[in-house]
Structure 1
Amino acid sequence: MKQRVAFISEHASPLATLGGVDNGGQNVYVAELSTQLSSMGYEIDIFTRKDREDLPEIINWKPGIRVIHIAAGPTLYIPKEQLMDYMGQFADRMKQFIKSNKILYKLIHAHFFMSAMVAAELKKELQIPYLVTFHALGKVRRLHQQEADRFPAERIPVESFLVRDADAIVAECPQDRQDLITHYRAAIEKIHVVPCGFNPTEFYPVDKQEARERLGLRRSEKVVLQLGRMVPRKGVDDVIRAVGALQGQVKKLKLIIVGGEADLPDPAATPEIRRLMQVSKECRTEQCVQFAGRKDRDILKYYYSAADVFVSVPWYEPFGITPLEAMACGTPVVGSNVGGIKYSVVDRLTGFLVQPKDPVNTARMIWQLLEDRFMHNYMRKNGIQRVNKMFTWSKVAESIHTVYEKVANRQVTSDPSGGIYEESSVYRQRRNADQEYSFQR
């Protein structure tokens, strides 16, 4: 008999087009992991928020996988920072769906803290155990973004509750595990380190000249690639500054920036592109920087393969899937020495690690890879071998299956504090005023 598992990914649907502010690694994670698990015999229901009127309640997406749209709040796009207030409604309607369809889930796998808020309510009422992959932690985000962090202050005490209440936590890299222990006092025995992955049928080396011809790039150009979500913390401005520092040293240098909310680079649709264009103007790199806009995933292997160097220098990164994809396509990486990147990229073996917000040193490492063909080929070969040995989604799914078995075989226990908002100041104020408060509904 096939085992049913519910995924909750409240803001990151596997059906979404990638590259925008809220569509990136989590969408890929949910899509790829569910696909691999279904091939292992699981039946997966992915619950995500309905953000368009034309979306049906249920989409039979792939064999063994359904995407179920839950109406929670207005049926339109809402930035994820503004979604917390609708998670009570999400939980109610998901519970109603489960009961009306008489579904028995083995467990719930929550993706992101707001999805875990829903899972905690379902565990409390339906006794379904859950595990959570946070994908990002509020305390770490606040440390780096400070006043630019738009999430409500209640995120942090809610995460503290969820760390205690969840039956297991999936950390995406050793740094993620340490952050959970240091900042949230997570129980060590609850944490399972399972990395993100890449799909080897989707990302593999393509002949460089073939890739360049497909993209309209010249054979003689030195191509640097930046690819991902267009948000300030990704450090794309530092990549532009690094390329600016190399203009007099590297002939025919070109930086391609892939990502954004539209297929064509639209400063109106993506304010971060407007800011980056201004940075490029200030650095006098307008002639060598190409904003490519959002691209479908079946095209990305050509961008990775066409590039000489892939650069990813975010301020912080819970994991970072794009360096894996670049290495899978045979392109060495210059990456930030943070989070998951310092786990997936081995310094001086598959690329170079640099400190974030350091365009001068980033430029130096890019220059070495562009000028030293022996080093480039050495890192190219090592990168391909490393990711195929350690980071395929099939290997990730096998590890997650092991975690599922451990969770399912335990007795369900809830956090003794009795409520998801127990530690928040809002909860205490309302409790002191003798007002009942659980979820905001």
Structure 2
Amino acid sequence: MSHKIALLSEHASPLATIGGIDAGGQNIAVAELALHLAKLGHQVDVFTRWYDASQPQVIEWQTGVRVIHIQAGPVASIPKEELMPHMDEFAQRMIHFFKQQTRPYSLVHAHFFMSGYVACQIKQQLEIPFVVTFHALGKVRKRYQADSDRFPEDRDAIEQCVIQQANATIALCPQDREDLIQLYQVTPAQITLIPNGFNHQQFYPVDKALARLLIGCETTEPILLQLGRLVPRKGVDNVVQSLATLHREYGIRARLLIVGGDSTQPDPTLTPEIGRLMELARQIGVEQWVTFTGSRNRDDLRYYYSAADVFVTTPWYEPFGITPLEAMACGTPVVGSAVGGIKHTVLDNETGFLVPPNQPKALAAKLAALLFNRKLRLLLGNQAVSHVQANYTWQRVAELTAVLYEQILAWALPTTYPSTLSPIATLKPAATSRTVAIKE
């Protein structure tokens, strides 16, 4: 059955350039899910915060998919950590938009906790059921980020309320499911495990020599690739340090390509992590072996994945991680941290290797094992392609998600609320004076 679906992604627009500080896996996931739900026959509207005045409010993006910009605060770029005070305005403008539609929305799918907060208000006022995918959990983030976590203190309480009011919660991987159960006391029956995926039309193996020619890196030396958002938690410094170990202890003159950033040219001003990594490479003597490319168009990324001998991703923690899937789809073995989604998507000794985070010597040892053995790289790369094609295409993800939607719509009943305000009403950000009327 065809439905009209609203995907909420307040800070992660499907139109954003990937690789910047606030543009990564969630942007990709929302975009791909919307496109593939539309291919299944659903009408999909993606709601995101309006941050660029040059873009119209409503964009007919792809067949069956619109991107709708909702004004919440100034029409300007704002770090996601500072968006919570604008979420009541976001909710009310969305509700107003919903009421103007001739065809009502069947279901809301919220992405991230702030979108979940908005979805609660939509459900309370319009009785539209919703699903939530958190993409990252506040309690897990605090465990690793500690004082550097700049999200509001009430994030945990908001997440708890969103979980209570959601018709279903999607976990991206078994670790995500375990965290929801252990840290948020979510009933296992309320959780549906649906991973992110990769686009098989964009990511597939390309001849290595051709790929290196196309990216302008025709070296015969081994290439390590790090690709994605450039922020400290991604642990790229760990990769730079392991490169020095490869050179000094294993005699392997490998090159490291670092793809990502907020501009197409590497700019330490726009992407501070680039400056920090450049300085680290200089200090440990591998500056000439590390190349920063800046961001790249997604249609060009398969050439970078295919040009590399090994893809490396060693974050401190990772709620899921889409880039390892893309690398494996291109036939490149992955060495990744045994954290979050990576420890489930990368099959240790089958499609790559898993290593502890923040241990450059352990990382270097696994990289050396692959770089010394071409047959092993080919074997793991071939197995990687088969693995992701069987389990992680966006088509499969969309189909699983659509089944969940149908289950919810088959069982969803008009929601009733207590005579007092729901807990969500007590969680208004201190920085705003707006009050949302919650239907009783």
Contact 2:2–2:43 under 8 Å retained in 1: yes
| Secondary structure class of the residue paired with 2:238 | helix
Contact 2:88–2:434 under 8 Å retained in 1: no
Partner deviation per Cα, 1:351-376 (whole Å, 9 max, x = no partner): 00011111110111111111112211
Say whether residues 1:63 and 2:63 are aligned partners.
yes
Say whether residues 1:124 and 2:124 are aligned partners.
yes
Partner deviation per Cα, 1:134-185 (whole Å, 9 max, x = no partner): 0000000000000000101111100011111100011000000000001101
Question: Which residues of 2 match residues 358-397 of structure 1 at below 5 A?
Answer: 358-397=359-398
Pairwise CA distance, 1:219: 4.0
Aligned to 1:280: 281
Aligned to 2:337: 336
Relative to structure 1, the CA distance from residue 437 to residue 71 in structure 2 (aligned partners, 3 Å threshold; closer, same or farther) is closer
Aligned to 1:188: 188
Say whether residues 1:133 and 2:133 are aligned partners.
yes
- Which segment is superposed worse, 134-143 or 371-380? 371-380
Relative to structure 1, the CA distance from residue 374 to residue 175 in structure 2 (aligned partners, 3 Å threshold; closer, same or farther) is same
Pairwise CA distance, 1:423: 7.4
Partner deviation per Cα, 1:70-111 (whole Å, 9 max, x = no partner): 000010000000000101000110111111233411100001
- Which segment is superposed worse, 362-371 or 242-251? 242-251
Say whether residues 1:324 and 2:320 are aligned partners.
no
Pairwise CA distance, 1:425: 10
Contact 2:85–2:429 under 8 Å retained in 1: no
1: distance between equivalents of 2:69 and 2:434? 30
Aligned to 1:408: 409
Pairwise CA distance, 1:240: 0.4
Pairwise CA distance, 1:217: 1.5
2: distance between equivalents of 1:415 and 1:366? 56
Contact 1:223–1:309 under 8 Å retained in 2: yes
- Which segment is superposed worse, 219-228 or 301-310? 219-228
Pairwise CA distance, 1:251: 4.0
2: distance between equivalents of 1:193 and 1:364? 33
What is the root-mean-square deviation in Å for CA atoms of aligned residues? Answer: 1.9
Say whether residues 1:90 and 2:93 are aligned partners.
no
Relative to structure 1, the CA distance from residue 395 to residue 79 in structure 2 (aligned partners, 3 Å threshold; closer, same or farther) is same
Pairwise CA distance, 1:218: 2.6
Pairwise CA distance, 1:383: 0.3
Aligned to 1:306: 307
Question: Which residues of 2 match residues 145-224 of structure 1 at below 5 A?
Answer: 145-224=145-224
**TM-score in terms of structure 2 length:** 0.95
Pairwise CA distance, 1:298: 0.6
Letter in 2 for 1:288: W
2: distance between equivalents of 1:312 and 1:423? 40
Aligned to 1:8: 8
Pairwise CA distance, 1:389: 0.3
2: distance between equivalents of 1:237 and 1:419? 45
**TM-score in terms of structure 1 length:** 0.95
Contact 1:167–1:412 under 8 Å retained in 2: no
Contact 2:246–2:253 under 8 Å retained in 1: no
2: distance between equivalents of 1:436 and 1:9? 21
Letter in 1 for 2:127: Q
Relative to structure 1, the CA distance from residue 5 to residue 96 in structure 2 (aligned partners, 3 Å threshold; closer, same or farther) is same
Contact 2:226–2:257 under 8 Å retained in 1: yes
2:422 to 410, 419, 424: 419
| Secondary structure class of the residue paired with 2:4 | strand
Letter in 1 for 2:351: T
Contact 2:223–2:254 under 8 Å retained in 1: yes
Aligned to 1:24: 24
| Structure 1 moving runs of 4+ over 3 Å | 412-418, 420-427, 435-440
2: distance between equivalents of 1:148 and 1:104? 41
Partner deviation per Cα, 1:282-302 (whole Å, 9 max, x = no partner): 221101000111111011000
Aligned to 2:247: 247
2: distance between equivalents of 1:423 and 1:195? 32
Letter in 2 for 1:237: D
| Secondary structure class of the residue paired with 2:125 | helix
| Secondary structure class of the residue paired with 1:136 | coil
- The aligned length equals 434
Question: Structure 1: which 5+ residue stretches go unaligned?
Answer: 428-434
Letter in 1 for 2:75: T
Pairwise CA distance, 1:244: 1.0
Contact 2:232–2:273 under 8 Å retained in 1: yes
| Secondary structure class of the residue paired with 1:247 | helix
2: distance between equivalents of 1:67 and 1:140? 30
Pairwise CA distance, 1:250: 3.8
Pairwise CA distance, 1:414: 6.1
Contact 2:252–2:368 under 8 Å retained in 1: no
Say whether residues 1:348 and 2:349 are aligned partners.
yes
Letter in 1 for 2:226: Q
Question: Structure 2: which 5+ residue stretches go unaligned?
Answer: none
2: distance between equivalents of 1:226 and 1:279? 16
1: distance between equivalents of 2:289 and 2:417? 55
Partner deviation per Cα, 1:280-324 (whole Å, 9 max, x = no partner): 112211010001111110110000000000000001111000000
Contact 2:234–2:313 under 8 Å retained in 1: yes
